[in-house]
Chains A and B, each alone.
Chain A
């Protein structure tokens, strides 16, 4: 009898301890589906590492509303079909929000599922079409092309004073969306498109494209490619002596492209939506912490991941509960300043479509470094 009583007591104590432990480990499930392998691995890995930094900081400080963030990261293999399958897996576990993907083609596929499930999706994609589908559950972490291209167009029109421009773009959802928005903006400003050159993802040899470019004799060249392709293109352009200014959007002026292209990136100009070289102390401090922890220089996707998590934290604390629908309602039209939430790094506003607005920059590559020459105001504050 005594033995039985002792056993019951031990079991009860065990259940009690487990219960206490469970109570101490309240979590909120916020999974991520990201490009950890395949062509988008650089972008996905940066986004993930930025997220991990923010999650560790928040969890160390007590979590969100007392709940630790639980974020398993699933690999999309940079493939839209796999992204869909991975998203279905996480949707089956009733997430509060979902992070990713970064590739626009994958976001265009997954956002239909999160819309149906009414789960907010915090994405890294930049294709204009993402926020043009009346989806109340998709939120960007960086400019959509419909925001960045007018800024580039103004720069080419007002500063470069080009009358004709050649466009070199990568033939995927990201590149095609950028090219379509860019050509529209050029036409609106009366600038002639002298050459429209499509390239392939992973392309190594750009000699044919640069030969075509030379024949076009444009006043400026707009380059809208992924990182490695940008570096290879710049090397070929230098080799063939392209004299027209090479203009880019964020990627072309990234430090990774500058490093890979060597001297060929010198003099490249353009618009930078997010950069660790921004003349903002909070951004620079973040970049230093990131470098220290992961031993590589963060690109703009790292900033997207980091600020994306703080965006969720801020909105959740405002609504005071983990309610996905309430989150989506509150997040539209919200403005977050670094004073309200230091982790947001720069003041940001999300509009009724889930598009983000924040300050951005004009930059130039000087002596192997990205140099910010001008800070552009938020579009909503113009």
Chain B
């Protein structure tokens, strides 16, 4: 039982990070039909913003704020203005290819400017273990889970309980009608990019103490979050959350109780099953193509 609790908490913490990243996938898809294959690198990059700020003498909390602010500007505003807007006119596929190129560019740039070596990254809390029903759970995992849950709750409140959030949802559901109703659609789309910039920065701050800051971190994270978004439903934020948590927990439990050698295959089996039997994802809604 103790082992199970340990695995569950650890899996939920990892899954919560996947969920934060997967939410970004769904937000961008819903508002602008952008599939961002650089999303994993978007999580890798803010950690280096923070390390760079700390290298010039900023304390951790200030460096973290600088990291979030830079992410919002670079990975939100600049990404939309320089990459998405010009490429979007040419359709989804050219944009997808451009984001793949962007992921390579970000990865190699970080390697060249910062080094290929993994860097230790400060944790928001001192390393301490909590003992619960015989299980040893790291305080770091609990904090990761708590911050991720708080972030998701805040996002949920923003989207559902505020006028701004409802305008963003209206834009996602039908931009033409939203425009007729006087909603500034362009600005709403921009806001989703800013939110994505903030989400990936928070995910980066949470995951980097565990993963260590390294230029290749985005590969695994981006893939896991993409699978999570598809499993949960690419057009639903709550689907992305569910997909992330399922993936995190499944990874740990399957490695411990089924086979560690095939742990990488289990999420893919679930993915195939979802695509075959519920292609819109566990919580997604069916979308019909106009053409």
Contacts and interface: CB of A to CB of B under 8 A. Distances in A.
B212 A260 contact: yes
A44 B111 CA distance: 13
A41 B216 contact: yes
Interface stretch (B28-36, B163-171, B194-202, B253-261): B253-261
A75 B17 CA distance: 32
Interface stretch (B6-14, B62-70, B76-84, B173-181): B6-14
Interface in A224-257: 227-228, 231-232, 239-241, 256
B6 A207 contact: yes
A250 to B, nearest CB: 17
Contacts of B260: 197-199, 208-209, 212
B215 interface: yes
B216 A239 contact: no
Contacts of A208: 7, 251-253, 255-256, 260, 263
A38 interface: yes
Contact of A239 (B3, B107, B129): B129
A42 B115 CA distance: 9
Interface residues of A, number: 35
Given A198-B260, A212-B256, A205 B107 contact: no
Given A37-B108, A41-B111, A260-B212, A171 B136 contact: no
Given A205-B251, A256-B117, A260-B118, A240 B216 contact: no
A44 B219 CA distance: 19
B211 interface: yes
Question: Size band of the B side of the interface?
Answer: 35 or more
A204 B256 contact: no
Contacts of B116: 36-37, 41-42, 44-45
A171 B6 contact: no
B14 A204 contact: yes
A239 B252 contact: no
Interface string B116-148: 111010000001010000001010000000000
Nearest to A43: B116
Nearest to A205: B14
Contacts of A204: 14, 207, 210-211, 220
B107 to A, nearest CB: 7
A15 B210 CA distance: 62
B7 A211 contact: yes
B111 A37 contact: yes
B264 interface: yes
Interface in A186-206: 197-200, 202, 204-205
Interface of B: 3, 6-7, 10-11, 14, 107-108, 111, 115-118, 120, 127, 129, 136, 138, 207, 210-212, 214-216, 219-220, 251-253, 255-256, 260-261, 263-264
12 contacts: A36-B116, A41-B111, A198-B260, A204-B211, A205-B210, A207-B10, A207-B252, A208-B255, A214-B3, A228-B212, A240-B136, A259-B120
